[in-house]
Structure 1
Amino acid sequence: MPLPQGIPTVTVTGRFLTPDGRALSGQIVFRAPALITFPDHDVIVGGPVTAPLDSQGAFAVTLPATDAPGMSPSGWSYSVAEQFQGVAQNRVYHILLPAEAPSVDIADIAPTDPGTPTYVAVRGDSAYEVAVEGGFVGTVEQWLASLIGPQGAPGGQGIAGDDAYEVAVAAGFVGDRAAWLASLTGATGATGATGEQGPPGTNGADGAPGVVQSVNGQSAAAVVLDAADVGAVPDTAPGAPNGVAQLDTTGKVPAEQLPTATGGGAVDSVNGQTGVVVLAAGDVGAATADHTHTASAVGALATTARGAANGVAPLDSTSRLPIAQLPTVTGRNMWTPQALGFAAWSCDPAHVSNPITLKAATVQRVYMSGIHITEPTQVNRVVMFSRGWAGSAAVPAARFYAGIYNESGTRVATSGQVSSLPAAGQLSGTAPGAVNNHIGAVPVPLTAPITLQPGRYWAAFLMSAGAATDFYYMHIQNESPSAPANFFLGTTFQRAWAKDAQTSLPTTLAQSGGEVGLDPAIMALAMV
């Protein structure tokens, strides 16, 4: 719907192309700073106006002028946001659309200096205003009159030329003037089509104003119309053959006007029964009161189909699909924890630079590594990535704990104290470099399997007793007061931190009291 008449508008057009002449795709959004009230027109306008680019990269949009009289607020400008696909940096700038220019191309007012992308295009002085600034004194009408110079002197008498007949004779025409005039008339053309009926005239020749010329196509001194002329039913039709039915005083059709097969308005039989009819469920194809219906009998799904295989997916309390009902979605042909035998991991070790300096686990320090669970996942092992662990047979004094904490810092699974762990890097098929240096996965069994629901967790590892050089772990080298993994917004979740002076895994651990300047350990969860 267009704006009310009287509100001045400006039509903004433009076209956007790539440097090689192809049309850009996207849109331009125009925003006024607030709701704009036009009290003289009883209307308030507001909200952004989006102008999409067509297949030629062009757009056109009509907007209220920024200097429309009587609007509130006044003295504002449009914010223009360019949103184009494939453009590295879209612009946002301000423009004025004065009513004195009812159409404008955006190329004439958009900024072209990349260093000043935001500005307001303002109207320059008119020629009259320039004249006033130059010293002219007077109104616009006086200034316009001053532009008219004195009238020039009359021109001299021209030389009379030959008339058309004399030119024709000079060109070879033979005959007198009457014959020449007759030669100018061509053959009569074919009769043209009859034009549309014009509006009533305003003089006696076309009919007196205010006098009816015809009614329903009839032209006569006194026009008489019948029911057919006005598409109506004659007043003789009610109750007459081939007419229309009448209604009685109760607003119903009288029995005598009903078809003879209807019994004059009384029921003859019901489902083939006459007299005082009493229908049972079977008479109308219905089930008896004690009949038990099943979901399939009424074309419905049983409640047991919710969340079941080949059933239907339920919605949670927020009207969304639970993540457990969604298929596992990963990029094609990518390395995942499952591809290497794990259920989840703190990071992809292949993306970690191999530190030159070995890092040994500090005795009585709990190492916490963040794990993100996106679907219900059962695990029974916490796995530590070792860079040097010869096994409990070679290091019998070492004691270990492993566990899992949820995001609130509550322990949800533990291994208890473990006094025997196999050497790292001894799986069949491992290369000599890993076998001889005891490098690889060290799984620590939990006391019982646990199914982790979607959420954020920490895998925990503790060497509670032993020497300072017993267990070397693969780590992410950190030279900052906080590990690079601790990069977050919103709810705090430190993916890499530690807690010292622990002889076992406590029931709860608070990340706010942990150490974040350490070299993070690489850990995983597994179901073996």
Structure 2
Amino acid sequence: MLPDLIPTVTVRGRFLAPNGVPLSGAIVFRAPAQLTFPQADVILGGPVTVQLDAQGGFEVTLPATDAPDMDPSGWAYIVTEQLAGIPVGRTYNVLLPRAQPEVDLADIAPTDPAKPNYVGVPGPQGERGPTGAPGSVIYSGTAAPGAALGVDGDVYVRYETSLFLGVTSTTVSTWQKSAGAWAQLGGDVRGSAIYVNNTTTPSTSTKPGDLLIRTDSGDMWQRGASGWGSPIGNIRGPKGDKGDPGATGGAGPAGVVQSVNGKSAAAVVLSAADVGAIATTAAGVADGVATLGTDGKVPAAQLPPLSGGGAVESVNGKTGVVVLAASDVGALDLAAADARYVRPSGIPVTSVAGKTGAVTLAAADVGAEAAGTAVLLTGTQTVAGSKTFSSVPSSSAAPTADAHLARKSYVDALGGGEFRASDLGLLTWAFDPALGHSAPLYPGSGPIRVTAVYLRSAASVTKIAWHFGGYAGGLTTGSWAALYNASGSRVAQTADLSTAGAEPAEVHNAGGATVSVPLTAAYSAAAGLYYVAWRFQYNTGTGDGPMMLVAESAFGSPPNTFGLTPVRRFGSYATGGATAPASLTLASMENGSNRFWAALA
């Protein structure tokens, strides 16, 4: 970046073929061999070469040709167009005065080859016109305008809003100030309101012309200048004439019950039997029903006597106080049982595993492996001899010592002798950044850039990283970055890159620096192909977007698909939204002319 003491001019331009296809190539701006700026203590030298981007455009900031205290002075830039497909590019001179800090090359470059080369010189600035008279002002409010408000010719609109009996009404009146005083123009503007109530209603908050209907009486009032006044009508119609009397009906039947439980009489008397009940005289007597005492039980006097007094007459043929012996119930006593049956205690085992006597068993006697001859599932053990496995042994842990077996994914991740991403604190990258082009490029403001990366083993991804050759800050809202899987579905994303904690760090040192932005949440990624996509939104006028590390991108459409698979390692979408899309349509990704480096961490 040039020192602040040197006035600069930003030059932009865009080159397209006649069919609208962006051209590729470079634009070279040549100044005198050396320019000295004593006030800024700096000497500038050499041409400035600007590469065209994917849209055929460029932007560059150069010292103004009329910078004060510059040595030499009175010179012009020599512009050379080096465009792909055009054998001989144009060369012409242009002035870049500091009075015009931004200029488009199409406005100052010659377009007719028959015309001689020329240098555009800005004309003088025109004189400033006289100050016009102030215009009228329109004020508004809910009360009448105050006397001190405004000047003659100003207008005031008053809005009076009231809520009465559930009806909201707004009255509008217009005032104009003349000869230092406000005067109302015409009358109030407001439609009439209809109120409904069932009691006496005050006229406060109402306007002349409003209508009131009483639901209790049906009377209607219309508001006059001083209030409701007298009813003007009634919504109820007049009372109708009385109808003629009807014919006399026939005599009804006598007022007696026709029958009760099959009995018909003027005075019916029913007995207990008539209603299927037991007569009260049958309670507590023989052949009747028992009653309940105060304790809720049948009294003992109403219970029938028990035959035999409730005693057992005999047990196994015995009466009285019976004591039974074992023989009474057909059983053996203890002595007889001991004499008949041999107790099992003390009886020796006849044989064990086919052996008799003092038996000693080995592992083979019970079909087992001897200690030290089988592999244990847990614990420490040394296995000797050569072993052959019918299937490949596997392990979920990475080796930690030279004598440990290694998983295939662990070996694959080691690669060759060159630097790996893990050697530099990264999980994976698009390519070794040391192989990138020494001249960084702008990604452009607005399009979506895409770079493919490959994870060789599962990992937790927390950051997206790029290498900036220079960056002064200034990303605006709508800038974002996201991670997509091999099918194009979004699996992780960052916050808006213009917000604190998410915007990339500024880079001003020689050689640039690797910067990273955090994901909103860590993503547990399986091994496989992923796409890093980002959209930077910035002010192209001041060039405050980042310059990014790229692979060699001089060719207009460099190859981005390699090998025998259709994986496109670099690409772009011409336009993007303010937030990361839920998915990318990989088949419609453009073959971007710039191959930007990206990494995961």
TM-score, normalised relative to structure 1: 0.37
Bigger Cα Rg: 2
By percentage of residues, which structure has more helix?
Answer: 1
Q: More strand per residue: 1 or 2?
A: 2
